[in-house]
Structures are given as structure tokens and as C-alpha cells.
A and B are shown apart, each in its own frame.
Chain A
Amino acid sequence: MAVKTVIEAIRDGMDEEMARDESVFLIGEDVGNRGGVFLASDGLYKKYGELRVIDSPLAESCIVGVAIGAAVNGMRPIAEIQFADFIAPAMNQIIEEAARFSYRTAGDFNLPMVIRAPWGGGVHGALYHSQSIEAMFAHVPGLKVVAPGTPADAKGLLKAAIRDPDPVLYLEHKRTYRLVKGEVPDGDGVVPIGKADVKREGKDLSLIAYGLMLTYCLEVAEKLAADGISAEVLDLRTIRPIDRAAIIATARKTGKVLVVHEDTPFAGVAAEVMAIIMENAFDALDAPVMRVTGPDVPAMPFNHVLEEAFMPNPEKILARARELAAV
């Protein structure tokens, strides 16, 4: 066991998988000598060479399309999109191609590939370095979407994604990179895709979150405890395939659920979580399911007042949780 940051856990995960399996390679902008703009691949170019750590041209469709082809021909590519905000040029390759390869060939082809994308706000990144993209991609059958929030989960889910036989969109929250530290188990520590995790047990209400919002929800649970309110915190970890059983279980256990994400609300992940609860645990609810999300505006502004107004934070979550507890 060692205490690591999220970014260190991601680097360790890539390094260990590349050492373990020669078919694993990394391709993306600035991932080579520079080690990535966030240093996620620091040292890997020197260690594994230019055929396994490839500085791509500044072209996202190229990064993903080439990764698809390499996966067809026996490799396990990790395609890095420098910021999730710039994934749009690759959407055709991700949605129309990668997500459909297995289905459109009735299982003849499969694509063992990972698309890593730093996402999320609260980093003064403005409209184009702050976005949440999970709902757009989680809507697409044929893709798996994960969004870890702790170093152990970041490493364990990255390993699971690299070893998975299908395309996985791996979302790493930029704000957590150096903010969130935690113990990472020695050895593989693979975290299975599709399994949520109760990060804190509670009985009065449930907070459901992922990514940076997990950290905020754990803070909120601590404050609620001081008020005598016992909050359970469920970390989704995987957005799709979503862990229905874990969502239903926590809803049935506490009867009150608050879903938190920084993505905008309309047709978002929270809406899907709420639908799962309505369909499967309506009879166990003591209050309407509530959510805290970013607002329905196109993206997060640069100015700090506007950015803070956009981002959910512990205060906003706490206020809503108290409201829910009081029902």
C-alpha cells in the first residue's frame, strides 16, 4: 500500500500494463517526450520507445481511428484525447465505428481499446477545458464509460479497461489529478467495470456521485454526520454499464436519494439513475429523488464568479441534502 495521487495512479496503471503486455501502446497529442500535458505518461516514452508511445498529429479522429485499426490487428491501444472538450472531431469514429464493430459484425470483430479523456471543471479551464461529456457517450450502446474518483479506482479501472475486449471511454477528472490522494493497493488491484462502490455506509439518505463530486459528497456526509444525519455515499465509478443493483439497494436502504454531477441536467446521468429508482424502488422512497447538477448553459465560463456559480460544490450539495433529510 502506498499513498498516491490520481495522476500517479493513472501513470502507474499504464506503466504496469505496458510492461505486462507488449500489445499495449499509447497514442495521443504530446504524450511522448512531453509526457502528456498533465504528465500522465511522464517517463513512458523513454521507457517504451517511439513505437509504443506515439505523439500523434493534432487530429482527434486520427487518434481514435488509428487506435481502432490497431485494435483490429491485435494491439491494445490507449488513445488519449488531450481534453474531453476536444473529443467532438472523433465522435464519428467512436460512435459510428468503435461502438458498432461488435454489433455490426455479429461478434466477428471486437475492439480492445481505451480512450482516455481528462474531463470536468473547477480548474479555470473555461468553456473548452472544463466539459463533462459522459451523458453523450453513455447514451451509446456498445461503449463502456468509466469515471473513477479515487487513486485506487483510477488505477484499478484503467487496468480493467485496458484488459477489456471492448472499447472503453475512461474519464479522468482533471481537478482530482493532484487534489485527491489515497492508498493504492500493491499488485494489480483491478477494479471491475460495472460495479459501483459504497464509499461510506449510512442509513438516513443516499448521495450518489462519481468523479470529483465523490470527494465533495464524502465531505458533505461528514458534515451531515455532525448534524446527526447518517448519509450513505455510493460511488458509481462506471457510468455504463451502470450498476443498477447498487443503486436500487441504496435507495431501498435509505429511502431518500440525492444524485450529484457537474454535467448539465437534461437527459443526464442523474436522470437515468432517477429512472432506475422509479422503476425499481418507488415503493421504498420516503421523498422524491433529488439532484444537484451544473446548470443548463452550454459550458463553464472562465470568470471565477461564473465558474463557481456553475460548479456544484460541498455547500450546494449540503444545502440540498439537508432539504432532503428534512422531508
Chain B
Amino acid sequence: MALKTTEVEAKGGRSRHRSLGLSDEQALRIYEVMRLARAVDERMWLINRQGRAPFVISCQGQEGAQVGIAAALRPGSDWVAPYYRDAGVVLWFGMTARDQMLSFFARREDPNSGGRQMPGHFGSRRLHIVTGGSPVATQLLHAAGVALASKQRKEDAVTAAFFGEGAASQGDTHEAMNFAGIHKLAVLFVCENNGYAISVPQSQQMAIQNVADRAAGYGFPGVVVDGNDVLACYEVARQAVERARRGEGPTLIEAKTYRFTAHSSDDDDKRYRQAEEVAIWRQKDPIQRYATYLREAGTLLDPVEQEITERINQQVEDATDYAEQAPDPTADDLTTFVFKQELKP
């Protein structure tokens, strides 16, 4: 069975982040990226409901798992293969609020896709974010391939693939973990288990409690972690990254979490889950929880919080204004980049 991390508060107390080797500055940086992910997301919903953009898909509720795990990686040399909720991951890896809004408004300057893909389909070669499509779980095999290349060149880069518990049902998930296990590849398989694949609850997705239990079948460790405890996520990811860099192979991390919004702006979650259930999970909001910890630790002082809030507000305003006014692609852009070297079809 998968290992379970003990309760948050039990370890480290008020200097927990320091005992994990995180400076106050790093701990605050994690907090700010979580808040930025949330703030951009909330703004997207507002704009969508005003009819100014057609679609939004959310990270809300999962920022702790996303940023906590990404923070254990080295942006620039390590790689991530995110899924469509992973705004927290890609912001940590260097995307900006502007980049996200350009994608949200599907503008020509959108660095992910030039306005071709729906929002949430991240990708940047420069930032080592593997482009993702809409079919789920394909990126786990890409992550295994990226890690294979690192091994072939004897580089110590680590690759993290992120996916939901619904994607855990796909054959590609099995094939990727099997391959990565055989070759002891430096991969973190990160399942953000939010309990629902659109409307289908975990009980209809699998007969087991923990996706992480499956790791045993691939010959590497599986770890269950409280996905709404950002420091716990950081801790398990750091251990998995160290293990991977030592050449000991992959780890499957299952972060138990919850999505606060419907699946997307086109979904109505009242059809399949109770408002009371959402309310209970909102009490466990990873951002609020972390803020409480940081305040008690004496790290998040009021003036610091105010600065962070101002910076985030400024970024969201700037990104929204910039992206909404940015030009659309032209019809001529429809036929470019079918191939790297342009060929007539």
C-alpha cells in the first residue's frame, strides 16, 4: 500500500517551511504564485460570465498540489508535462499572467498556441513545458520519453507529468508507468485527485481508494499526500525528485484535492455534487490554509500581504487589459506551421 504522510501540523510546527529547507522568501514566493493562479482564474470566470470570452477551465482548489510539487523542481532544466488545470505549475515554471490571458482570449500572441487551442492547453519549449492537447493521459508517455532522452544523454533533469484521477483510467497511464519503471526514469507521476472526472466520482472510476497504490505494480513507490497542504506536497515532491536524480527511478504522487468550480464554464456541477460538499472543501482551501500557517509562522506580515495583493491585482489588471486589446490571428494564420518547414499541402 502507498505511504501516507502524517498530518501537516504535526511536523515542524511554526517553522515547518524552514525545516523543509525553504527560506521565508521562497515560502512567500510559493504563496504568491498560488494566489496569482487563483486570481487570474477568478478573473477569467468573471470575463466569461460577462460574455467576453467563450471558455474557462479552472485550477481553483488545486493550487497547493500544483505549486507545492512544481516548487521542488528546477525550472529551466527540469521538464513538466502539465494537464489543463495546471495554471499553478506553469506559472511556477515561468509563464506569466499575460501569457495566460493571451491564451484565454485566444490572441495571436498567445505563447502556448497562437490562439489555436482552448485555454489551459499549456506549452512552451523555452520554459520546458511540454505542449498538451485535450486527450487525457497522452502526456504521461511524453514525460517518459523526455526522461528517456535525459537518461540517454546522462543528464540529471527530472520530468514531472501531471494528470487527474480520470486520466489514471487510460491505457497510456499504465504504459507510461510501466516503461518508466522498467528503465528507472527520472519521472514524477503526479495525480491531482480531485474526486471527479467531470461528473463521474472516483467510486465509478476505480475500485480502489488510492491511485498511488498502483505504483507497486510498476516497481516504484506511490505516495498519498494531502493536496491542499502545499508544504506536504513540496516535501513529498522533493523526496521524489532526489530519488529520481539519484537514478533510482520514478515516484507516483497522489495529491488528494478538490476542484472548487464546475469542470469548465460549460458544466453545471449542481447536477452531480452537493453544495454542502463543495462548502466543506472550501473550508480546506489550500491558499487560506497556507496563509494561516505563514501568518502564525510570522512570515506573512500584514504589509507583506498587502504588497503581494497589490502586485497580483496589478498583474491581473495589466494582463486582462493587454490581452483583451491584443490582436486576433488573421485568416492567413490558419495555414501556417502544419510542419516546421513550410510545405504546400
Contact = CB atoms under 8 A, between A and B. Distances in A.
Interface in A98-117: 100-110
Contacts of B333: 106
Interface stretch (B89-97, B118-126, B255-263): B118-126
Interface stretch (A66-74, A171-179, A285-293, A295-303): A66-74
B331 interface: no
A82 interface: no
Interface string A87-98: 001001100110
Given A69-B148, A72-B142, A93-B141, A108 B111 contact: yes
Given A65-B138, A103-B116, A73 B150 contact: yes
B179 A56 contact: yes
B116 A104 contact: yes
7 contacts: A57-B178, A62-B144, A62-B179, A65-B138, A65-B141, A65-B172, A69-B148
A61 interface: yes
A109 B131 CA distance: 8
Interface in B160-185: 171-172, 175-176, 178-179, 182
Contacts of A52: 152
Contacts of B148: 66, 69-70, 75
B273 to A, nearest CB: 29
Interface residues of B, number: 50
Given A57-B182, A92-B135, A109 B123 contact: yes
B142 to A, nearest CB: 4
Contacts of A165: 339-341
B175 A75 contact: no
Interface residues of A, number: 44
A92 B340 CA distance: 21
B240 interface: no
A185 interface: no
A171 B153 CA distance: 29
B170 to A, nearest CB: 9
B174 to A, nearest CB: 8
Contacts of B339: 102, 110, 142, 144, 165-166
A222 B75 CA distance: 64
Contacts of A106: 113-114, 116, 333, 336-337
A23 to B, nearest CB: 8
A241 B344 contact: yes
Given A105-B131, A241-B343, A97 B142 contact: yes
Contact of B112 (A56, A71, A105, A142): A105
Contacts of B138: 65, 92-93, 96-97
Q: Which of B138, B172, B336, B339 has the most CB of A within 10 A?
A: B339
Nearest to A92: B135
A32 to B, nearest CB: 13
Contact of A69 (B144, B153, B337): B144
A107 B344 contact: no
A70 B133 CA distance: 17
B130 interface: yes
Nearest to B342: A107
Interface in B126-166: 126, 130-131, 133, 135, 138, 140-153, 159
A280 B235 CA distance: 66
A107 B145 contact: no
A299 to B, nearest CB: 23
Nearest to A75: B149
Contacts, number: 150
A119 interface: no
Interface string B208-251: 00000000000000000000000000000000000000000000
Contacts of B176: 62, 65-66
Contacts of A73: 79, 145-146, 149-150
Nearest to A65: B141
B345 interface: yes
B117 interface: yes
B84 to A, nearest CB: 13
Given A25-B152, A105-B113, A106-B116, A62 B175 contact: yes
Nearest to B138: A97
Most chain B CB within 10 A, of A65, A96, A100, is at A65
Contact of B141 (A66, A109, A194): A66
Given A89-B171, A97-B138, A105-B113, A69 B343 contact: no
Contacts of B121: 104
Contacts of B159: 69
A72 B343 contact: no
A59 interface: yes
B338 A108 contact: no
A326 interface: no
B116 A96 contact: no
A65 to B, nearest CB: 3
A1 interface: no
The 6 closest A-B pairs by CB, nearest first: A69-B145, A65-B141, A106-B114, A73-B149, A110-B340, A107-B337
A165 B114 CA distance: 20
Contacts of A65: 138, 140-142, 144-145, 172, 175-176
A100 B131 CA distance: 10
Nearest to B143: A69
